[in-house]
Amino acid sequence: MFGLNAKDMRSLVFVALLLVLAPILLNPFPEGSPLAQFNAGYPDLMQRFAIFGIFAIGFNILFGLTGYLSFGHAAFLGAGSYAGVWMLKLLTINVIPAIIISTLVAGVFALLIGLVSLRRSGIYFSILTLAFAQMAFALAASVLTPITGGETGLQTSLNDPRILDGARESSNIPTPSLFGLEMGDSWQLRVGDWLWTFNAGYYICAIVALIGFYIAIRIFRSPFGLMLKAIKTNQNRLNYTGVSTRPYMLACFVISGMYAGLAGGLMVSMDPLAGAERMQWTASGEVVLMVILGGAGTLIGPVLGAGFIKYCENIFSKINKSVLEGWFSVFPDGMADFMVAIVYPFVGKGWHLTLGVLFMLVVIFLPGGLVQGGQKIGSWVTGRGRKKSAGAATTTPAE
């Protein structure tokens, strides 16, 4: 179906189900229970899962297929964000132009940066992209303040022209919508103690993410994708045989940048504010972490990695001292204090520490990322009866 083989179809269906059922899957604990702290099924975080999933999928097309490590992908996300907010300000509050234009703007931006950066490969390419991204950040944060809002960020406001929307009716800033369906609209479903929130904005992100995932599969399986893998394997040999690799690389870089721009456009469609810090190098580093953590070069890995990191960021960082004290209050006093002291550095502000430790463990023991972990568990479960096919069952990710 859709020109996919059975295995890819299964991945697509798997991702589709994950996306559709996310509001239920992410809220496994009943409301009001102590474990409700770990529920992630609220609109903001679900939107982030889908958006950063798109970002990571796009990054993986570049890094996973060609092995070119870009350290400046956040610049495209930022460029897309600013373009998106300007569309919401100038054209219409409908999110469609914002999403389309932000993708295109990021594509043009990627073309310009790609033309220069792709003259080099390896570490030099990484440094060039990093330099461009930092330049973009500095521009956004101070030089281009009239266009980007500087450190304050760019927001929609009451007296924006919005030429396609006609005269404004209410005295409040309109919220981004899709033909009247506001991104913040949610339906809540209560089953027993569980409360599930189905959010319009999230499902739009999810649909776009699914389309993005499908396109990524097609690119992976196309002759174009094969050429990209060949570049990763041995670019020199390709050049010697007379194949010009640059157009392929440039196309790949632009596609990857457009994914990032799309993510940026969706981000501002969900929450119409673009801040300069989303272009900073730490943001570029984050997407590298997502892809490596999930499994570079695999189809589903980046999505898992993105979800994993965003979950840590939003859930662990909200566990503060009083929450910990609540958990450990069953222990005797001294013991409870001791446990709090041990755990506290790893949650709240210290969630980066937890992430760092997990990242190290993954890189050391599962070089193929979470996907390899899943495969290991899978082959362990199925391979116990028939030990023979342990090697055949693990498909080595195209690391």
Partner 1 sequence: MSGFKMNRRGLLKTSAAVGAGLAMPTIFTSAARAYTNEPSGGSVTLGFNVPQSGPYADEGADELRAYQLAVEHLNGGGDGGMMNTFSSKALKGSGILGKKVEFVTGDTQTKPDAARASARSMIEKDGAVMITGGSSSGVAVAVQALCQEAGVIFMAGLTHSNDTTGKDKKANGFRHFFNSYMSGAALAPILADNYGTDRKAYHLTADYNWGYTTEEAVRNSTEAMGWETVAAVKTPLAQTDFSSYVAPVLNSGADVLVLNHYGGNMVNSLTSAVQFGLRAAEANGKQFQIVVPLYSRLMAQGAGRNVAGIFGSTNWHWSLENVAGDRYAGTNAFVQSFGEKYGFPPSQAAHTVYCQTLLYADACERAGTFNPCGVVEALEGFEFDGLGNGPTLYRAEDHQCFKDVLVVKGKENPESDFDLLEIVDVTPTEQVTYDASIFGGELGSCNAGT
Of residues 157-216, those binding partner 1 (CB under 8 A): 157-159, 170-173, 175, 184-191, 197-198
Site membership for partner 1, residue 389 (CB under 8 A): yes
> What is the closest distance, in whole angstroms, from the C-beta atom of residue 24 to partner 1 in the complex?
6
Helix (H) or strand (E) holding 152: none
Rounded CA gap, 68 and 60, in Å?
10
Rounded CA gap, 61 and 3, in Å?
19
Site membership for partner 1, residue 338 (CB under 8 A): no
Please list the alpha-helical segments (H only) found in the chain: 6-25, 43-66, 73-90, 95-117, 122-138, 145-148, 200-221, 223-240, 246-270, 281-294, 301-315, 321-327, 333-343, 351-365, 369-383, 390-393
Of residues 43-102, those binding partner 1 (CB under 8 A): 43-45, 48
Q: How many residues bind partner 1 (CB under 8 A)?
A: 54
Which residues pair with residue 155 across a beta bridge?
A: 273
Minimum CB distance to partner 1 smaller for 243 or for 393: 393
> What is the closest distance, in whole angstroms, from the C-beta atom of residue 346 to partner 1 in the complex?
15
Minimum CB distance to partner 1 smaller for 96 or for 273: 273
Query: E strands along the chain, which residues?
Result: 154-155, 177-178, 181-182, 186-191, 194-199, 273-274
Of residues 282-321, those binding partner 1 (CB under 8 A): 314, 317-318, 320
Site membership for partner 1, residue 39 (CB under 8 A): yes
User: Number of C-alpha atoms within 13 angstroms, CB side, residue 290?
Assistant: 33
Rounded CA gap, 253 and 259, in Å?
10
Q: Which of 155, 251, 311, 327 binds partner 1 (CB under 8 A)?
A: 155
> What is the closest distance, in whole angstroms, from the C-beta atom of residue 150 to partner 1 in the complex?
6
Rounded CA gap, 301 and 299, in Å?
6
Return the biggest CA–CA distance within the chain: 74
> What is the closest distance, in whole angstroms, from the C-beta atom of residue 229 to partner 1 in the complex?
25
Rounded CA gap, 300 and 210, in Å?
11
Minimum CB distance to partner 1 smaller for 3 or for 326: 326
Which residues pair with residue 186 across a beta bridge?
A: 199
> What is the closest distance, in whole angstroms, from the C-beta atom of residue 154 to partner 1 in the complex?
9
Q: Which of 21, 116, 361, 363 binds partner 1 (CB under 8 A)?
A: 21
Residues composing the chain: 399
Per-residue binder mask for partner 1 (CB under 8 A), 255-284, x = binder? ----------------x-x-x-xx------
Site membership for partner 1, residue 153 (CB under 8 A): yes
Site membership for partner 1, residue 237 (CB under 8 A): no
Q: Which two tokens stand for residue 19?
A: 């996306």
Per-residue binder mask for partner 1 (CB under 8 A), 121-150, x = binder? --------------------xx--x----x
222: left (phi over 0), alpha (psi -120 to 50) or beta: beta
Determine contact, residues 120/249, Cβ cutoff 8 Å.
no
Site membership for partner 1, residue 329 (CB under 8 A): no
Q: Which two tokens stand for residue 375?
A: 């495969």
Which positions ≥6 away from 373 have C-beta within 8 Å? 362, 366
Minimum CB distance to partner 1 smaller for 186 or for 354: 186
The DSSP code for 40 is -
Q: Which two tokens stand for residue 50?
A: 């889908």
Transcribe 12-54 into DSSP letters. Answer: HHHHHHHHHHHHHHT--S-TTSGGGGG---SHHHHHHHHHHHH
Minimum CB distance to partner 1 smaller for 118 or for 276: 276
Of residues 344-363, those binding partner 1 (CB under 8 A): 349
Site membership for partner 1, residue 13 (CB under 8 A): yes
For residue 114, report the phi and psi dihedrals to the nearest 5 degrees.
-60, -40
Minimum CB distance to partner 1 smaller for 233 or for 382: 382
Minimum CB distance to partner 1 smaller for 165 or for 271: 271
Q: Which of 4, 11, 20, 131 binds partner 1 (CB under 8 A)?
A: 20
Residues in contact with partner 1 by CB under 8 A are: 10, 13-14, 17, 20-21, 24, 39, 42-45, 48, 141-142, 145, 150-153, 155, 157-159, 170-173, 175, 184-191, 197-198, 271, 273, 275, 277-278, 314, 317-318, 320, 349, 378, 381-382, 389, 393
